[in-house]
């Protein structure tokens, strides 16, 4: 529907708000450059999703769990989306109101950009 992708484009699911947490700095080299260790992580927060939209997201997750999967997340610059390979975690809603799932959050971990 938008620019967000996870093993292909979505037809119903809207783009989430993405909060990216960069690779943490663990120290400094002698020349002053930071030592980064770990992986980038992104938290994806979706607007209220109708059952069909949530099922599309859930089906995509079920087909690709336990594997690195290609997708698209916003670039670190904040402009456009770029290809990433990541480990995508289960989308979890905080509650349901009739056919709508509220507070759906999904994590993308071990992100490799490019």
In terms of phi and psi (left: phi > 0; alpha: psi -120 to 50; beta: otherwise), the region of 56 is alpha
pLDDT at 37: 87
Question: Is the pLDDT reported for residue 29 higher than 90?
Answer: yes
Residue in this structure with the two tokens 């698209």, named with its chain if needed: 72
For 66-84, the pLDDT digits (tens) are 788 998 888 877 778 888 8
Closest of 65, 47, 46 to residue 106, by C-alpha: 46
Domain housing 88: 5-26+34-113
Residue with the larger pLDDT of the pair 3 and 90: 90
**Rounded (to 5) percent helix, strand, coil in the chain:** 10, 45, 40
Mean pLDDT of 79-106: 91
Rounded CA separation 1/5 (Å): 9
Number of domains in the chain: 1
């Amino acid at each position: 529907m938008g620019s967000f992708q996870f093993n292909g484009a979505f037809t119903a699911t809207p783009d989430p708000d993405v909060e990216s947490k960069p690779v943490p700095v663990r120290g400094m080299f002698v020349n002053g450059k930071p030592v980064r260790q770990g992986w980038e992580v992104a938290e994806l927060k979706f607007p209220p999703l109708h059952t069909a939209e949530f099922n599309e997201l859930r089906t995509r997750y079920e087909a690709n769990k336990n594997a690195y999967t290609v997708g698209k997340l916003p670039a670190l610059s904040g402009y456009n989306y770029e290809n990433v390979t990541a480990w995508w975690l289960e989308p979890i809603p905080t509650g349901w109101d009739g056919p709508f799932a509220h507070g759906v959050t999904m994590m993308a971990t071990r992100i490799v950009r490019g």
